[in-house]
Chain A
Amino acid sequence: MLTLIKKIIMEFADVDEDSITEQSSFMGDLHLTSYDVVCLIGKFEENLGVEIPDREIRDITTVGELLDYLGKKMK
């Protein structure tokens, strides 16, 4: 799952794959804008068939938090 997350993030973030870690924050470390984050969330929703409610997006600020969130959603 982490590999898939990194692959999708790299479509939106101008960073090397190696620099993306579970600790990376989307806006702080990866310099994603709110538009990028919404695109990212939308792509995960459509590709993985999950729904990520807007109110829950604010709690997903790092790659690791997204990994945990998707892991729970897809159980």
Chain B
Amino acid sequence: MIYIALHKDSIKKNSACKSHLIGEQLLSYGLLHEKGIIYKGEDTAVNAWGKPSFICHPDIFYNISHSEDCTVCTISDQFDVGIDVEMVRDFSMYAANKVCSKEELNRVLSKDDPNREFFRYWTLKESYIKFVGMGISYPMKSITFEIEPDGNILSNASGCTFHLIEDLKEFVIAFCHGSDAEGK
């Protein structure tokens, strides 16, 4: 399940610490309601790239992301997960050239709302590298996407499935989860 918190006016810009705490609160809420687990800052292990996982609950996967005044958290007991949220704003061509394939960049620039389209690709790529747990050292340009008119998401990534959540006008959320044993 995915949990979303909007905390307008309760958080100062760039207050990563507060967003982190809200992420922990969402995780705590989700663990209690889905698993009956009372979260008390359980010990976590981190992989070589810093992705955390519970030591006591190795069968529970979670991921947290925040952007400005939106924090999201996802929890699963079936597959590993990755989630990313970004506020839609003017995108940087420095970032676009760094992470988008030529085809993706052409699609971004041909859209009526290129900023939203760019952050669709950005969050999809981020959700994948958070799913595999490799951080920004992963070559983001190598994982490519095509978003079909009906919203179906095509990708060259195997063993996982992607979803875009755009219920919030100001934000784009991308969610990646394993879809077979390879993606666990």
Contacts and interface: CB of A to CB of B under 8 A. Distances in A.
Among A35, A39, A46, A56, max chain B CB count under 10 A is at A35
A39 B94 contact: yes
A41 B97 CA distance: 11
Contact of B94 (A31, A33, A42): A42
A38 B49 contact: no
Contacts of A45: 94, 98
A34 B135 contact: yes
Secondary structure call for the A interface:
helix
Given A14-B13, A14-B14, A58-B49, A35 B137 contact: no
A55 B94 CA distance: 18
A73 B126 CA distance: 27
B22 to A, nearest CB: 15
Contacts of A34: 126, 135-136
A56 B136 CA distance: 10
Given A14-B13, A35-B122, A42 B135 contact: no
Interface of B: 13-14, 16, 49, 67, 86, 92, 94-95, 97-99, 122, 126, 135-141
A55 B137 CA distance: 5
Contact of A43 (B49, B86, B94, B139): B94
Given A14-B14, A31-B14, A34-B126, A42 B95 contact: yes
Interface size class of A (residues with CB under 8 A): 10 to 19
Nearest to B142: A54
Contacts, number: 51
6 contacts: A37-B136, A38-B94, A38-B140, A39-B94, A45-B98, A55-B139
Nearest to B92: A39
Given A14-B13, A14-B14, A33-B67, A54 B139 contact: yes
A57 interface: yes
B94 A54 contact: no
A35 B141 CA distance: 14
B92 A42 contact: yes
A34 B49 CA distance: 13
A42 B141 CA distance: 13
A57 B13 contact: no
A42 B97 CA distance: 8
A14 B49 CA distance: 26
Contacts of A40: 94
A31 B99 CA distance: 21
